[in-house]
Chains A and B, each alone.
Chain A
């Protein structure tokens, strides 16, 4: 579903990604691991062109999403980001009600019917496994939620515009273990319908939830394989050294 061909990226004169090639299967969870500064977050953000916002970024190669290059002229970036949604490391609910947070995206895409919006809000919150916790306070400000709830709200907000792919950039690094396990369970349940790509520093999390794992180092993708294979019998010594804690 997502095929990356010879992708390179520069921030000014510094090259951050070197010739990345990978095919990401749909309806599965792909984990991106590697030490800080290895390019995994840069790579993740490239997949829905979030890096376009950074001045001085230059990209070569292609990312095919459903067969089309996302960098081709004429690609509607807003539509691309509707298809490929994102959840960030720090939950970032808008300073408005829970309801309006979820309805925000559908409204910008032209949906105004109250009945339709009610339906989307409930479906999205249920999809993100937070409906039961917030259904009685939909009009309350989203900032009153706990960190874990805010993160699930942000995932619900991404689901509201019916994406195909959800990118998650260290979505649990600011959460306690209970909230972390809720997000992990959520990710596993979401892969029935969505393709999930997750950057994580938590190796055990990658083992627990992902189907495939890619190891990045110094802007290169060193190894990409089934998660079980990466963590049981990595092919590259650098992968072995990183996952066994010899560096990083």
Chain B
């Protein structure tokens, strides 16, 4: 009786998965580009970021059409309204990946940053983004809750990196551009963790009706 609507919902789900996969690729590649200032990688991050922005507009259009045509209620309404909110956070993740790539392109990030464990922070953030999207795909509220809890890990990384950078400045052991660029990267990663938390919260809302 509602096969057309079910088809449209399945397509929406598929599109969100595609957009989520693009976010995972963008952030992973941005983290990899930090390693050696690799500009072929950063260019690819920009491409992903553009694709993500495009997907956001496509999915928004789908959601608006579904709201108009199907006048959804209950779980259908929750899924579609959650999708509308989630794509904004995914698009920001794409943007933040692009921001990191831009910083890498400036060439101030050197191998010395390893001892600050920025890669550990990047991996923790990738884990949050990946699992928030997994929680959506698998309709898994418990996994979404775990993502929200894991934000503390990313926040702790940020605090440690900030402290380490301040120590470097105090010791006059680093140039200012390097320190500020690294702090910006850490901040972008921390923001991406927050966006993953938002996605996880919308997953929980779509399942339980509560945020």
Contact = CB atoms under 8 A, between A and B. Distances in A.
A232 B2 CA distance: 19
Given A232-B78, A232-B209, A233-B209, A203 B1 contact: no
Nearest to A234: B74
A204 B71 contact: yes
B73 A246 contact: no
Nearest to A231: B73
Contacts of B72: 244
Interface residues of B, number: 12
A232 B71 contact: no
A234 B5 CA distance: 20
Interface residues of A, number: 14
Given A233-B209, A246-B1, A246-B2, A240 B74 contact: yes
Report whether over half of chain A's contact residues are helix, strand or loop; otherwise say mixed. Answer: helix
B73 A232 contact: yes
A245 B77 contact: no
A231 B76 CA distance: 10
B6 to A, nearest CB: 9
Interface string B71-102: 11111111000000000000000000000000
B34 to A, nearest CB: 44
Given A232-B209, A233-B209, A245 B75 contact: no
A48 B138 CA distance: 50
24 contacts: A203-B71, A203-B73, A207-B73, A231-B74, A231-B77, A232-B73, A232-B74, A232-B78, A232-B209, A233-B74, A233-B78, A233-B209, A234-B74, A240-B75, A243-B73, A243-B74, A244-B2, A244-B72, A244-B75, A244-B76, A245-B1, A245-B2, A246-B1, A246-B2
Given A204-B71, A231-B73, 16 more contacts: A203-B71, A203-B73, A231-B74, A231-B77, A232-B73, A232-B74, A232-B77, A233-B74, A233-B78, A239-B74, A240-B75, A243-B73, A243-B74, A244-B74, A245-B2, A245-B5
